[in-house]
Amino acid sequence: MKPPSRVREMPILRVIARALVPVILLFGLYVQFHGDFGPGGGFQAGVIFAAGLIIFALVFGAEALRQVVPVVLTERLMAAGVLLYGAVGVVAMFLGGEFLNYSALDPLTTGHYGQHLGIIVIELGVGIAVAATIMRVYYAFVDRRADEDGTGADPALDAGAGGEAT
C-alpha cells in the first residue's frame, strides 16, 4: 500500500485541514488589506494565502487544487500582479506626477489620500504576484514528480512518508 494514500485518508488531517484552510485564507486577506494599519502587507499576505492553498493540496491532492487554481491561472496572475504595481506608477505619471508618486493619484487634496490608495493597490499587486509565484513553483515540483513516476502523487507527502525508497 502506498503511504501517500494512507496519509490522505487520515480523518484527523482531513477534518483539521477542512477547518483550518478557510481561516488561513481569511487571515491572508486580513494581512493583505490591514497591512497599512498592522504588521504585514502584500508579501506576507501572498505567502500566507499560497500556504493555505498548498496545505489544501497536501491533504486533498494537487488535482483538487488544480480544479480551483489551474496552472495557467497562476502564470497569468504572476504577470498581472507585477503589471498592476507598474500600472499604478504609469497612472501616476498620466496624472502629472512622477512614476510611483501616489500623491498624484489624488489631485484634490494635499495627496495623502492618493498615497493611501496607491499603497493599497500596489500591495495588492505584490500579494497577487507573490501568491501566484509560490503556487507556480509548487506546481512545478508536483508536475516534475508526475513526469518521473507517472503518478499524481504529491511530492511533500511522498517525502514525508516514502522514506523506505532508499
Partner 1 sequence: MPPVELLLMLLLLATVVVVARLQDLFAAAMLTGIASLLAAGLFVLMDAVDVAFTEAAVGAGVSTVLFLGALSLTSRREKQQERTRILPILIVVATGAALIYGTWDMPAYGDPDAVIHHHLAPELIAETEEKIHIPNIVTAILASFRGYDTFGEVVVIFTAGVGVALLLGGLGPRRRAGHGEEES
> How many residues sit close enough to partner 1 to count as binding (CB under 8 A)?
70
- By CB under 8 A, tell whether 3 contacts partner 1: no
Residue written as grid cell 501568491:
131
How far apart, in whole angstroms, are the C-alpha atoms of residue 94 and residue 135? Answer: 34
CA distances from 107 to 7, 94, 102 (A): 57, 12, 10
- By CB under 8 A, tell whether 132 contacts partner 1: yes
Radius of gyration of the chain, Cα coordinates, nearest whole angstrom: 20
How far apart, in whole angstroms, are the C-alpha atoms of residue 56 and residue 17? Answer: 7
The footprint of partner 1 on residues 18-77 (CB under 8 A) is 31, 35-41, 43-44, 47-48, 50-51, 54, 58, 63, 66, 71-72, 75
For partner 1, which is the closer residue by CB, 1 or 37?
37
**Which residue type is seen at 17?**
A
Indicate the DSSP class of residue 63: H
For partner 1, which is the closer residue by CB, 25 or 31?
31
Residue written as grid cell 500500500:
1
The contact pattern for partner 1, residues 90-119, with x = CB under 8 A and - = no contact, is ----------x-x--------xxx-xx-xx
The minimum distance between CB 34 and partner 1, in angstroms, equals 9
User: Are 132 and 74 within 8 A, CB to CB?
Assistant: yes
| Helix (H) or strand (E) segment spanning residue 96 | none
Contacting positions for partner 1 (CB under 8 A): 31, 35-41, 43-44, 47-48, 50-51, 54, 58, 63, 66, 71-72, 75, 78-79, 81-82, 85-86, 89, 100, 102, 111-113, 115-116, 118-119, 122-123, 125-126, 129-130, 132-134, 136-148, 152-153, 155-156, 158-160, 162-163, 165-166
